[in-house]
Each structure stands twice: as structure tokens, then as C-alpha cells.
């Protein structure tokens, strides 16, 4: 199947990045969100990020203008019905995703491929609640989408080969690299990454090291580009907690128990960069450790 029109559900950090790379690759993009302000902010962010690429001579001004012209926005989910491929990039809550698919599916063409950018939730389970489990796939981009080269492609138990092959071709057209993952909780990247972050929170919780020491140790001791606590703030502590809960519930193993301190931060609304406070305070010019 040839993909030319792409619908993206959710205009947040992931959704606007996905819209950016699809438009830049020549696809016509329809971006939707329930929040009109989020849609306006997404276009502003995409314009800014494309402008940065122009300033670094990665693309031309004409490329930037052409990409922006390919992106349309709508607050109405049904407007995505004509798209060849739909990527859901809403919040990491299964009930929210199920509600979105229930509203959208009656408006889709029979041949439309439906995908989710979920970072941890069962693709098989999400697909089973739609009318097209054979045309449903996990399409997991890494953050920030315009910078990161990897896309995880996750087959559900019913996903057919044509759907997988079509999405693999899309990844290649985007200039990215696909890794194929089986449909188990958190797939590959987050199955490894988020428990590491959770363990770093335990090290903080138990007083083994403070925020600065933990991040410094991992940056300089293992050559990570970002410390695990700074990375947690970047991802969003609520997302980290959601993934740990999926791992703990789905695999029934106590090694995936979320750290109580991570839970406490989320309960406090200290979710990281997006709220201005997490393991670091972002109110000033430079982030300051909160512990």
C-alpha cells in the first residue's frame, strides 16, 4: 500500500515531532488535538525546529516552507478519516487510547493502517478493540523525534505482513532505522531504559547519592550523554511511572516495582521539564537539583 496522507493524534512533544519528520519527508499531514492551544503551540514548535535546521544548513528555506505547507491542523478527530496511515500519539493511558480509537474507527477507510506510538502498552490488546487488528501496528518513535534515528515497529499477534512491510517502507522514507520488537510490555528500548531510571531513583531514595552525583556518575562513568535523573525529567516522570506500572503489572516481577520516590514526585505534580520541576528545578537559567 502506498502511504501519502498521514493523520497524527496528539500535538504534544511526540506528536509535533512526528508531524515534523513526516512533513519533511514529503507526506501530507493532518494533526489533531482536543486542545486548540496545543495545536497552535505545535505548529510554532515545528516552525522553530525547522528554522534551526535551516540555520545549520541541514535544509533550505524552501524545504522548510514546503514542509510547513504540508501540515494541516484540526480539532475534529473524524477529519483524519481520509488518511492512509494514522499514528496515535496521545497520553500514555490505555483508557484514553481506547476512547480515541472507538471514536475514530467508524470514519476510517477500510484500507487505512492504524498505529500507536505507545511506549509500553500491549499492541495486541489495543488492536483487539478496533475493527482492524490485522492493520494495527506499534509505531514507536524516540524523543526528540527529529533528532533520534530509531523507530520501534511492534507487531500485535494479528498484524499482517503487508501492514508491517508498508510501515517499514515508511520508516525508510523518513530516513530513520527500524528495530523490530515483539509485543511484550515496554518492548525493547523502554524495557531496558526505564528500569535503569527507576534504579537511579532508588539510589537517590536510599541516600546512596544525591541527584548531581548520580547523574555525574552515569555521564562520566558510563559515557551516557545525559544522566538518568535528568533524562527522567526530559521524558516526564509521569510517563516513566506509567511504563514501570505496565512492566510491573504485565510481567508480575518485583524487580519492576516503581520506586516510592518516583510515585511521590508524580503525586506532587513534579513531572520534570514540562512542569518546571522534577529531580531538577527549571525556574532559573540553569537546572538546579532538588535533592
Active site residue 16: no
Contact 237, 266 (CB under 8 A): yes
Active site residue 190: yes
Which pTM does this prediction carry?
Answer: 0.90
Catalytic residue, candidates 16, 49, 116, 140 = 140
Q: What would the mean pLDDT of 241-249 be, rounded to a whole number?
A: 95
How far, in Å, are 1, 93, 98, 273 from residue 124 at the CA level? 22, 15, 12, 32
Catalytic residue, candidates 49, 119, 120, 198 = 119
The predicted structure's pLDDT at residue 12: 92
Q: Is the pLDDT of residue 278 over 90?
A: yes
Active site residue 152: yes
Q: What percent of the chain lies above the pLDDT cut of 90?
A: 97
Average confidence score pLDDT of the chain: 96
Q: Is the dihedral of CA 145, 186, 180, 127 positive or negative?
A: negative
Annotated binding-site positions: 10-15, 33, 92, 97, 119, 143, 274
Report how far residue 265's alpha carbon sits from residue 30's, in angstroms, rounded to the nearest whole number. Answer: 35
Report how far residue 69's alpha carbon sits from residue 87's, in angstroms, rounded to the nearest whole number. Answer: 20
In the chain, where are the structural domains located? 5-182, 190-289
Q: What would the mean pLDDT of 90-114 be, rounded to a whole number?
A: 96
The predicted structure's pLDDT at residue 6: 98
Q: What would the mean pLDDT of 119-130 be, rounded to a whole number?
A: 95
Write down the residue that cell numbers 526528540 correspond to: 144
Catalytic residue, candidates 16, 116, 122, 190 = 190
Entry field: residues in the chain: 291
Q: May I ask the CATH architecture of the domain 5-182? A: 3-Layer(aba) Sandwich (3.40)
Active site residue 285: no
pLDDT 10s digits, 132-190: 999 999 999 999 999 999 999 999 999 999 999 999 999 999 999 999 999 999 999 99
- CATH number (3.40.50.720, 1.10.1040.10, 3.40.50.150, 3.50.50.60) of 190-289 reads 1.10.1040.10
The predicted structure's pLDDT at residue 208: 98
The predicted structure's pLDDT at residue 1: 78
Annotated binding-site positions for NAD(+): 10-15, 33, 92, 97, 119, 143, 274
Catalytic residue, candidates 16, 20, 120, 152 = 152
pLDDT 10s digits, 157-167: 999 999 999 99
Strand, coil or helix: 224: coil
Q: Is the pLDDT of residue 98 over 90?
A: yes
Amino acid at each position: 500500500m502506498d502511504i501519502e496522507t498521514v493523520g497524527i493524534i496528539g500535538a504534544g512533544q511526540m506528536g509535533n515531532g512526528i508531524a515534523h519528520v513526516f512533513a519533511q519527508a514529503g507526506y501530507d499531514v493532518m494533526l489533531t488535538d482536543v486542545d486548540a492551544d496545543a495545536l497552535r503551540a505545535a505548529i510554532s514548535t515545528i516552525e522553530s525546529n525547522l528554522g534551526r535546521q535551516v540555520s545549520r544548513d541541514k535544509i533550505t528555506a524552501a524545504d522548510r516552507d514546503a514542509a510547513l505547507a504540508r501540515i494541516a491542523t484540526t480539532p475534529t478527530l473524524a477529519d483524519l478519516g481520509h488518511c492512509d496511515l494514522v499514528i496515535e500519539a496521545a497520553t500514555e493511558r490505555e483508557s484514553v487510547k481506547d476512547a480515541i480509537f472507538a471514536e475514530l474507527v467508524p470514519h476510517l477507510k477500510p484500507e487505512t493502517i492504524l498505529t500507536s506510538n505507545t511506549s509500553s502498552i500491549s499492541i495486541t490488546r489495543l488492536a483487539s478493540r478496533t475493527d482492524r487488528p490485522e492493520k494495527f501496528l506499534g509505531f514507536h518513535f524516540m524523543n526528540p523525534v527529529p533528532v533520534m534515528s530509531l523507530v520501534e515497529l511492534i507487531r500485535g499477534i494479528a498484524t499482517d505482513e503487508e501492514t508491517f512491510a508498508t510501515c517499514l517502507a515508511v520508516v525508510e522514507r523518513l530516513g530513520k532505522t527500524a528495530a523490530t520488537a515483539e509485543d511484550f510490555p515496554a518492548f525493547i528500548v523502554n524495557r531496558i531504559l526505564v528500569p535503569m531510571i527507576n534504579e537511579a531513583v532508588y539510589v537517590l531514595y536510599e541516600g546512596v547519592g544525591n541527584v548531581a552525583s548520580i547523574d555525574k556518575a552515569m555521564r562520566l562513568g558510563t559515557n551516557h550523554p545525559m544522566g538518568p535523573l535528568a533524562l527522567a525529567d526530559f521524558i516526564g516522570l509521569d510517563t516513566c511511572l506509567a511504563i514501570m506500572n505496565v512492566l510491573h503489572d504485565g510481567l508480575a516481577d518485583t524487580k519492576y516495582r516503581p520506586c516510592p520516590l518516583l510515585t511521590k514526585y508524580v503525586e506532587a505534580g513534579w513531572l520534570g521539564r514540562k512542569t518546571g520541576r522534577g529531580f531538577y528545578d527549571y525556574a532559573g537559567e540553569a537546572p538546579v537539583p532538588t535533592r
